[in-house]
Chains A and B, each alone.
Chain A
Amino acid sequence: MILEREQINRYLRHIIMPEISGSGQRKLLESTVFICGESVQAAAPAIYYLASSGIGQINCCFELPEGFDKLAASIRDLNSDVSISLADGKAGELRIFLGGPEFICRQSDKITTDFVPAIIAFYNGWQGAIGVYQEQAAARSLLATLAAGQPPVAACSNDKLQRGIFAFCFAGALCAMEVVKLALTIGQTPDGLLTFNLWSMEFSKIAQQDSARMAAALSALLSEDFPEISLEGGKALIVGAGGLGSPVAYALAAAGIGTIGVVDYDTVEISNLNRQILHTASRIGMPKVKSAAIFLEELNPRLVVNSYNTGLTKENVYDILAGYHVVIVAVDNFPARFLLNDACFFAGKPMIDAGVMRFDGTAMTITTPVGHCYRCTLPEIPSGGTTPSCSETGVLGSLPGIMGFIQAAEAAKLLSGQGQLLNKRLIYFDGLYSSFSTLTLIKSENCALCGTNPTICGLQDYDFVCADDAD
Chain B
Amino acid sequence: MHDDLLLTLLVLLPFIGSVFAATVSSNARNSEAWLAGAVALSCLILIIAAYPAIVANGAIRSEFDWIPALGLSFSLRMDGFAWMFAVLVSGIGFLVVLYARYYMSPKDPVPRFFSFFLAFMGAMLGVVLSGNLILLVLFWELTSLFSFLLIGYWHHNAAARDGARMALIVTGAGGLALLTGVLLIGHIVGSYDLDRVLASGDAIRSHALYVPTLVLILLGALTKSAQFPFHFWLPNAMAAPTPVSAYLHSATLVKAGVFLLARLWPVFAGTTEWFWLVGLAGTASLLLGAFFAVFQRDLKGLLAYSTISHLGLITMLLSLGSPLGAVAAIFHMMNHATFKASLFMAAGIVDHETGTRDMQKLGGLFRFMPITATLAMVAGAAMAGVPLLNGFLSKEMFFAEAIETHLHSVLDTAEPYAAVVASAFAVTYSIRFIHSVFFGQKPADLPRTPHEPPFWMRFPISFLVIACLIVGILPSVTVGPFLQTAVVAVLGSRTPEYSLAIWHGFNLPLIMSLVALIGGALIYVALKGYLQQCADGPPLFRLLDARRIFDDALVILSWRWARFLETSLTTRRLQPQLRLLVLAALLAALVPLYARGLGPLAAIPSRIDPVLALVWLTGCACAIGAAYQAKYHRLVALMLLGGAGLATCITFVWFSAPDLALTQLLVEIVTTVLILLGLRWLPKRSEAVDEPVTFASRLRRQRDLAIAVAAGVGFAALAFAVMVRPLPDTIASYFLENAYLMGGGRNVVNVILVDFRAFDTLGEITVLGIVALTVFALLRRFRPASDSLGAPEQQRVQNAFDEAQPDRKQGDTVGDYLLVPAATMQWLFPVIIVLAIYLFLRGHDLPGGGFAAGIAMAAAFILQYMAAGTTWVEDRLRILPVNWIGMGLLVALATGAGSWLFDYPFLTSHSQYLQLPLIGSVPAATALLFDLGVLGLVIGATVLMLVALAHQSVRKLRAARLSAAAGEESP
- The judgment on whether A and B are partners is no
Binding site for A on B (CB under 8 A): none
Binding site for B on A (CB under 8 A): none
